[in-house]
Amino acid sequence: MSRKPKKGYFVRGQFVAEGSEMDLELKAELKGTDGLSRTDRKKDSDDRQDLGIELLTLRNELAERLNTQGHITDQLRDAIAEARRITNFEGKRRQMQYVGKLMRKLSEESVAAVKDALNEQRMGSTRDTLALHLAESWRDRLLEDDTAVQAWMNEHPSTDSQQLRALVRQGRKDDITTKADIAKGLLPRQSRSYREIFQLVKEHLNQADDDLHTPEEDAEDYKP
């Protein structure tokens, strides 16, 4: 008994069976759709699901800005807030599926805006970390190097030099941990003056960074 031939057609010498994945893709192209393959659509869906998970970490002010700009709907914003609240594993999983469903409805422009906001948050975290390391480096230098106070004053002349010198003197007195103690694994004792030097340095570094990015100064420089 002869086998019933499959329904289909040939494209560039290749047989395409009706109902197959290739058949659906070709028909989508003929209809003027985006032409994405099923694999591409699955990848885009997964990417948006992952993006929704990242949105749970986005700071509130950035999320509100996206909402105000129309990139995140009230429904999506509320769904994300609910996902943050849920602690039950299965409940959270179902909620994130819902978030992913809403993410798939966003336009490409909105998806790009969400990615930009997440990148902005990452860059802010990086700057904060670098600023923290710089403050720690200056604190240690001030306590260890006799020329460091003058070097600091040259860069930050608004600092109260008497206060800084007094803190450095006290910090050196308070640090009674010897090299032998450190060799034994004992950490230097962090005195009050040690912490106050760090706080003073950090505040001046933050102020200097703010002065470099003052909108009013930029506006004064521009005179039409």
> Does 134 map to a domain?
yes
Q: Which of the pair, 208 or 1, is modelled with greater confidence? A: 208
Taking phi first (over 0 means left), then psi (-120 to 50 degrees means alpha), and beta for anything else, what does residue 69 get?
alpha
> In degrees, to the nearest 5, what angle opens at C-alpha 44 toward C-alphas 40 and 45?
115
In contact, 24 and 38? CB cutoff 8 Å: yes
CA 203 to chain centre: 23
pLDDT in tens, 147-204: 999 999 999 999 999 999 999 998 888 765 555 555 555 445 567 888 898 889 988 8
> Does 221 map to a domain?
no
pLDDT at 44 over 90: no
pLDDT in tens, 79-136: 988 998 988 888 888 899 899 889 888 888 888 889 888 888 887 766 777 788 888 8
Distance CA(119)–CA(54), nearest Å, equals 11
pLDDT at 33 over 50: no
- CB proximity list for 109: less than 8 A, separation 6 or greater: 71
Quick one: which of 103, 4, 124 has its CA closest to 45? 103
Is the domain of 87 the same as that of 27? yes
Is the domain of 132 the same as that of 171? yes
pTM for this structure? Answer: 0.45
In contact, 121 and 60? CB cutoff 8 Å: no
pLDDT at 220 over 60: no
Distance CA(58)–CA(62), nearest Å, equals 7
Is the domain of 14 the same as that of 96? yes
Last residue of a domain, one of 72, 106, 140: 106
CATH number, residue 165: 1.10.60.30
Distance CA(209)–CA(132), nearest Å, equals 13
Is the domain of 135 the same as that of 102? no
pLDDT at 16 over 90: no
Q: What is the pLDDT of residue 177?
A: 55
Question: At how many degrees (to 10) do helices 108-144 and 60-68 cross?
Answer: 150
Range of the domain at 29: 9-106
Is the domain of 13 the same as that of 102? yes
Q: What is the pLDDT of residue 39?
A: 76
